């Protein structure tokens, strides 16, 4: 499997005919699924590229496929919520009876 360290989010608008996403994804292995938007952009794609050359090639392919406006934003890092630390054990209640241990002495 080829490493794809360069990540980018691409927001694009297409012309009168929508882009053929299946055809685009088949031609460009860097293209990952993305949402169709009800905003300034018609489509948002996540790209996972092998380097700047592949990123430029994918943008050129998007233009050939009919994208009229393309905005590329490199992904600097992924963000995720920090794991919630486990709560420390509670100290025994002063009202609970002391623990009894068995003696092994004769």
**What is the residue extent of each domain of the chain?**
6-74
pLDDT given for residue 55 in this prediction: 95
User: Which CATH number applies to 6-74: 1.10.3720.10, 3.40.50.1360, 3.30.70.920, 1.10.287.110?
Assistant: 3.30.70.920
For the chain, give percent helix, strand, coil, nearest 5: 20, 25, 55
Q: How far apart are the first and last CA of the chain?
A: 67
Tens of pLDDT along 63-90? 988 888 999 999 988 788 888 888 777 7
Report pLDDT for 104. Answer: 61
> What residues of the chain score a pLDDT lower than 70?
92-94, 96-106
pLDDT at res. 27: 86
Cα separation of 66 and 69, whole Å?
Answer: 9
């Amino acid at each position: 499997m080829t490493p794809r360290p360069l990540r980018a989010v691409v927001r694009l608008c297409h012309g009168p005919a929508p882009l053929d996403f299946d055809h685009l994804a088949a031609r460009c292995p860097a293209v990952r699924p993305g949402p169709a938007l009800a905003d300034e952009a018609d489509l948002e794609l996540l790209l996972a590229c092998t380097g700047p050359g592949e990123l430029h090639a994918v943008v050129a392919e998007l233009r050939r496929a009919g994208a009229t406006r393309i905005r590329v934003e490199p992904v600097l890092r992924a963000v995720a919520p920090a794991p919630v630390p486990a709560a420390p054990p509670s100290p025994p209640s002063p009202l609970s009876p002391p623990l009894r241990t068995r003696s092994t002495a004769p």
